[in-house]
Amino acid sequence: MTVFAAVLKRDLLRRGRKPAETLAPLFFFAATVAAFSIATGGGAKLLAQAAPGALWSAALFAALLAQEGIFGADESDGFAEQMLASPRSLTAMVFAKSCAHWLCTGAPLSAAAFAGAIALHIPPEKAWAAAAALLLGTPVFSLLAAFVSALCAAARNGALAVFLALPLALPALIFGSAATGEAAQGRPAAAAFLFLAASLTFALTVFPLATAAALRATAGYS
């Protein structure tokens, strides 16, 4: 817990010094939702039907937009080598970095989803479902962003990271959109929320270990 808290604090402070970098995913999300609303031009009913997919796609790409900041700065200041050489748990450290990514990216996106849902003509009394679903889904995106960032750390290729992330993000994307859509239409959404929670449980179990292994592999550590 000590190393987790230390790395989490370090990443939050570093992100706090670069507000433009931290706010970029939120601006991207807002701009995407606004552009979708304008470009569709099909009226309130069509927008409400397409809103779940639009919200979740925008949230996924916004989260991946910030993936280079998870490990990118660590290469230049030597912190990546310190993490790999440290006797402390590398898994705990990469999990802390994923949590920092979620606190600065996923949590604001979840809050913005309520306004985004209203902008896409989901009734305000049902827009809470979008925020609740993204509150479960965005941690999956942050854990996934850390994993693909570690895989692509050597290549520094954002396009490759997005390509790798898309298949792995499909379960959360599908169940999250389903939960949002069913709740927005007044239908029972408990099953979709349970599957979304299962996706989060899987991500919490697997991705920190996989990210640590990917960091060691890309750095040449056994």
Which of 74, 69, 130 shows the shortest CA–CA distance to 103? 69
**Count of domains observed in the chain:** 1
Q: From CA 165, how far away is CA 11, in angstroms rounded?
A: 22
Q: From CA 109, how far away is CA 111, in angstroms rounded?
A: 5
Is the entire prediction scored with pTM above 0.85? yes
Task: Output the tens digit of pLDDT for each of the chain's 222 residues.
Answer: 688 998 899 889 888 888 887 888 899 999 999 888 888 765 677 777 888 888 999 999 998 887 777 877 777 677 777 888 888 888 999 999 999 999 999 999 999 999 988 888 888 877 888 888 999 999 999 999 899 888 876 555 556 667 778 888 999 999 998 888 887 777 777 888 999 999 999 999 999 999 988 888 876 555
Neighbouring C-beta atoms of residue 215, cutoff 10 Å: 25
Dihedral pair phi/psi, residue 191, rounded to 5° = -65, -45
Q: Which residue range is the domain that position 46 belongs to?
A: 2-219
Cα dihedral 145, 130, 108, 23, rounded to 10, equals 70
Angle, vertex CA 31, rays to CA 129 and CA 177, nearest 5: 30
